Amino acid sequence: MIVSIIGYGNIGTAIHSLLKTQPNVTVRPWDVNTAKYPNQGTLESAVKESDIIFLCTPSWTLRGVLHSVHLYLKEGVPLIALAKGIEFETCKTSDILMSELVPGHPVGLLAGPMIAEELIAGKHTTGIIGSDSAVVRKMVQKLFDGTPLHIRGSSDVHGVALCGILKNTYVVGLGIADGLELGSNAKGVLVSRAVKEINFIVKQLGGKTSTVLSEAGLGDLFSTGDSPHSRNHTVGVAIGKNTIGADLTSEGTRGISCFNKILNGQLARLPFLNYLIEVTAGNVPSDEIIHFL
């Protein structure tokens, strides 16, 4: 099997580290920054004979990447995204965007507690492959068989997409709590509030509670809620500490305003999310999070 990895940042490197020793698997990484993987060749050479493609790029680059990759795809090749974000301009999730831009190709989302640095170190975890295609789910499960990344399948692909997006956003909130040094008790309260709101949103938008409570939802929220490797947590800490001049761009902050549009005015029922929208816009001080306690 020929596997392409498009995007050679931390997660792309981690996926490569897991697959490069798998029997009967050839891995072809590619990144727009050739310094990340100097022997990569062209995008065409990385894609044109691939049997499956992993898209390990940020959500805000996904549209452009799909346009480029689509030029060289074999018929019916599955595309698996690891981006956990929402396109700011259109408010579309990764699963919807892929289905629209590469019709005829099965798509999937690989999600869950998969901190890249831990995967590279060989630490075990379980991820979720969300896909409408049972063939794709089995294909990905088999591909990682015997590696430290164990895979479970889910047909709730949109729920998996939403959980990944919302996890990023609420982890910013948990980072704010750490920046304010509110302690573990406070974070426990905030986690419970976050899970309730995530479940409400996912169900409203067509996903399932079982997905929220799976590795793709609660598991990922917990693993990145205080991880030094999480960009969203780091951004939250900076907001909590009111660090002047900090770069506050992350998957969790970039598309947060979309929820005001797609939830049709239901923010009154989602006070934690509403706070995160306002605090990342600079409209309220970060210590207003204390009201949730």
Where residue 41 falls (left for φ over 0; alpha for ψ -120 to 50; beta otherwise) is left
Note whether 144 and 151 are within 8 A (CB).
yes
Note whether 62 and 84 are within 8 A (CB).
no
**Of residues 179, 197, 166, 186, the one with CA closest to residue 286:** 179
Distances in whole angstroms, Cα of residue 30 to Cα of each of 26, 38, 134, 151, 273:
13, 9, 27, 24, 36
If you count them, how many residues does the chain have?
A: 293
Which of 167, 196, 241, 261 is catalytic? The answer is 167
**Of residues 96, 123, 131, the one with CA closest to residue 14:** 123
Q: Interior CA angle at 253 toward 157 and 165, to 5°? A: 10
Residues paired with residue 152 on neighbouring β-strands, in sequence order: 128
Active-site residue 84, yes or no?
no
List active site positions.
167
